[in-house]
């Protein structure tokens, strides 16, 4: 699966892929999740800068649960996200290895 994530990062943002550099912008993440749910779906990669650099995030015991609950409670219609945690070792910037 990590290779699939790395492939998505290399492709860059698109109609179906959105990068978020942190969980601090939950409103933006919720808006993106809602937009994806009203179209053909998509993937939000958190911990990836807009330029495609894997900057990572700190994940505590409740991080993923809190994010899922936020999305469920703050989207209309409600979004029930599939959340997966992946480790990305390579760092990419605009589709090129760094």
- The pLDDT tens digits for 13-52 are 999 999 999 888 788 888 999 899 888 899 999 999 999 9
- Note the pTM of the prediction, 2 decimals: 0.80
The tally of domains found in the chain comes to: 1
Burial class (CB in 10 A: 0-12, 13-18, 19+), 30: buried
Q: Write down the mean pLDDT value for the chain.
A: 83
Range of the domain at 59: 2-84
| Domain-embedded: residue 55 | yes
């Amino acid at each position: 699966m990590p290779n699939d994530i790395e492939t998505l990062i290399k492709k860059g943002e698109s109609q179906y892929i959105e990068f978020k550099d942190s969980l601090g912008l939950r409103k933006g993440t919720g808006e993106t999740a809602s937009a994806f749910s009203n179209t053909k779906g998509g993937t939000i990669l958190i911990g990836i800068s807009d330029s495609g650099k894997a900057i990572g995030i700190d994940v505590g015991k409740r991080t993923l649960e809190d994010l899922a609950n936020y999305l469920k409670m703050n989207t209309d219609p409600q979004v029930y996200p599939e959340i997966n945690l992946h480790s990305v070792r390579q760092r990419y910037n605009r589709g090129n290895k760094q």
